[in-house]
Amino acid sequence: MSGDKKQNIRDLSLEEIKLYFLSIDEKAFRAKQVYEWLWKKSARSFDEMSNLSQGLREQLKQEFVLPSITVAEKQISADKTIKNAFRLYDGKITEGVLIPTTKRMTACISSQVGCSLSCTFCATGKLKLMRNIHFDEIYDQVAIIKDQAEKHYQRPLSNIVYMGMGEPLLNYSQLLKSVEKITSEVGLGMSPKRITVSTAGIAKIIKRLGDDEVKFNLALSLHAANDSKRNEIMPINEQNNLESLAEALRYFHQKTGTRVTFEYIIFKDFNDNISDAQELAEFCKNIPCKINIIEYNPIDNGQFQQAEGKKVDDFSRFLEERNLIVNVRRSRGKDIDAACGQLTNKNGAVAV
């Protein structure tokens, strides 16, 4: 491993670290110690690995790098939501949020710097895609937010949602690797049933999730249950229409047995009428599901406004009367632009 380019040690499996130690005449059990520091204890430097000798730590520094993300800026909302601007290895910035409620402590994390999908209601959609986020950078977001939950609120992290910046399914391999590290017994030990991956809807990749028999939950950002309206706000629908998504979701459910969540941001005078609720109820017949009705959070120069409270109540009641599981999600962290759809990366998604 000579030369200027040292390898990121977190790219190595436990077996590969073991082979490295054997190659330098060290005991194989050292690999397990290092692996635990990397993934269970979330070490951010070799110097933290206190059960290794100083000499061995120095040798690891010579051979490998252990990059980790840092918090470039932190804001705490009046409702106790914490928004983080994370500085990645190359200086680019992404965002992650800790959302505390009475029942849950949820980490909302990002999978890409920026986004390529250009959904009209989303601030992130106004940014161009800079790059995918590496699996250990995704893991670091969770580890940092987990520490914040324990430090600020003395409560453990209970849930993780891949609903920050970017489209997780367009970073497929890193998404799955990050989930593996977060759920592993030698990682953070989170249950995959407490992880939800949110997608704007890419039919062929939803089927791939089914083929891979993933254990985490899947949420579809639906927001309209007819193609013309969905095309208007989500350009991705033109290649992944509702019929193709319904087929993919049925396949996903058949392979995994997991109930899908439909995310439905409710916009004033766009998708908030009873006729829209009827279309949504009809679409929900396709697959076992639950529905999250999400209060809209206006963005700078956005074309939409928040629906009136009575309309939201009437809409959700209509669905409940048809025996659908409905939750109305109120906004959190709105005062610090940490609410759903507001992650704009105001620090700039550029090297700093």
Give 21's Cβ-side CA count (13 Å radius): 21
- Helices marked H in 169-225: 172-183, 203-211
As a whole number of angstroms, the distance between CA 58 and CA 53 comes to 9
Buried b / exposed e across 140-152, counting CB within 10 Å, b at 16+?
A: bbbbbbbebbeee
Q: How far apart are CA 3 and CA 172, in angstroms?
A: 31
Q: Which two tokens stand for residue 81?
A: 């939501």
Q: SS3 of 129, please?
A: coil
Q: What is the DSSP letter of 108?
A: E
Rounded to whole angstroms, the Cα distance separating 237 from 220 reads 12
Distance (Å, whole) CA 335 – CA 237 = 31
**Active-site residue numbers?**
95, 340
Q: What is the DSSP letter of 63?
A: H
Structure tokens at 236: 């991705």
